[in-house]
Amino acid sequence: MELYSGYITKLIEELSALPGIGEKSASRLAFHLIHLPKAKVERLANTMIQAKEHVQYCKECYTLTDSEICPVCANEKRDHSTIMVLENIRDLAAYEKIGKYAGVYHVLHGAISPMMGIGPSDIKLKELLKRLQGEVKEVIIATNSSLEGETTAMYISKIIKPMGVKVTRIASGVPVGGDLEYIDEVTLLRALEGRIEL
């Protein structure tokens, strides 16, 4: 026996197919949408359709944008000789929120993971190598500290170093407010190795 009518059930099914949305959250969203005025629901639906039709990859860094070149790459005040390599667009947004990085980015859209069948050709690596033919002086590898992120960082470093481009890796260590007794060994070692003079 179906608990809800066909339309409600279908709406809940569609919403629960979204990443991070379980059945309970999908139900809450479905009932919220049903109680909204029709004009607001139409505006939401039209916004989603327009985003799907107009959003594309930036031709340089491969972040999402609604123009050929994203605002960061189009900004002449940014240091285009420094490229920060990231796994995904959310990482780019995190660095932009800080407001202290003046270079440009390159989004890989994933990380090398032999266990998952993801190799170098499955991420935006050849596009990065093409960008290095310009006036790039430094590549900052800012992949995650996971096994996949470390594998990707090592692979990129191995390919880029012979090109004469400086390759650096973001530091990682103890989070602010973290108790040392609860930090894993790898993080503690990284914190020790990445220490700075006071």
Q: Could you tell me if residue 68 is inside a domain?
A: no
pLDDT at site 3? 67
Q: Could you tell me if residue 98 is inside a domain?
A: yes
- What is the residue-averaged pLDDT of the chain? 89
| Helix, strand, or coil (residue 117) | coil
pLDDT above 50: residue 171:
yes
Contact 108, 156 (CB under 8 A): no
CATH no. for residue 134? 3.40.1360.10
pLDDT above 90: residue 4:
no
Query: Residue 161 contacts by C-beta under 8 Å, 6 or more apart in sequence?
Result: 167
Q: Could you tell me if residue 146 is inside a domain?
A: yes
Query: Which structural domain, as residue segments, surrounds residue 142?
Result: 78-169
pLDDT at site 174? 66
pLDDT at site 145? 82
Q: List pLDDT tens digits, range 36-57.
A: 999 999 999 999 999 999 999 9
Q: Running DSSP on this structure, what letter comes out for residue 130?
A: H
Q: Could you tell me if residue 141 is inside a domain?
A: yes
When divided into structural domains, the chain yields a total of 1
Average pLDDT value for residue range 147-166: 92
Position 195 confidence tier, pLDDT thresholds 50, 70, 90: low
Average pLDDT value for residue range 60-85: 95
Q: What does the block give as tokens for 34?
A: 């049903």
Average pLDDT value for residue range 143-167: 91
